[in-house]
């Protein structure tokens, strides 16, 4: 069974929240691309809309938006996501994951694009409180 750690960024409050996603909700994230907007029900936030902004796989290799597919690739990079050179003009071949969520992805980063009736923090605290009882 696939499990993800969803890191949800609340752009209004400037905070991030970690949410475990498992079961059929995690399966519904498979095959989604970076930049796609999804319903918040998949991560336990009904009424919210979330955009996938990135992620990383089981070895910490980051996803990249302009790299199609699910698999890892070695690409030559100048300064950009995944590589920050020490010297001007330096380029290096780095391993990066494609932009599609696959079973190898462990962490999925998201940001809130549309808020529900309650705030994000209130909604997450309410759902955590019901699980503890």
Over residues 78-130, the pLDDT tens digits come to 988 778 999 999 999 999 999 999 999 999 999 999 998 888 888 887 766 55
pLDDT tens figures, 60-73? 999 999 999 999 99
**Alpha carbons 24 and 26: distance in angstroms, whole number:** 5
| DSSP 8-state symbol, 70 | S
Q: What is the pLDDT of residue 127?
A: 67
Pairing of strands 72-77, 49-57: unpaired
Interacting residues of 30 by C-beta distance below 8 A, sequence separation 6+? 2, 101, 102, 103
* H-helix segments, 1-133: 24-29, 120-132
Residues making up the chain, counted from first to last = 133
Torsion of CA 120, 33, 21, 8, to 10 degrees: -30
pTM: 0.87
Question: Which residue in 35, 28, 65, 51 sits closest to 113, CA to CA?
Answer: 51
Q: What is the pLDDT of residue 8?
A: 95
């Amino acid at each position: 069974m696939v499990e993800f750690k969803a890191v949800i960024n609340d752009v209004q409050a400037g905070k991030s929240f970690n949410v475990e996603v498992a079961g059929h909700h995690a399966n519904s994230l498979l095959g989604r691309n970076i930049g796609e907007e999804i319903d918040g029900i998949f991560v336990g936030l009904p009424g919210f809309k979330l955009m996938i902004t990135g992620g990383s796989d089981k070895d910490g290799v980051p996803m990249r938006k302009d790299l199609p597919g699910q698999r890892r690739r070695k690409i030559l990079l100048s300064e950009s996501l995944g590589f920050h050179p020490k010297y001007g003009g330096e380029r290096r071949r780095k391993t990066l994951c494609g932009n599609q969520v696959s079973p190898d992805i462990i962490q999925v980063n998201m940001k809130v694009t549309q808020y529900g009736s309650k705030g994000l923090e209130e909604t997450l605290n309410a759902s955590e409180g019901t699980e503890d009882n």
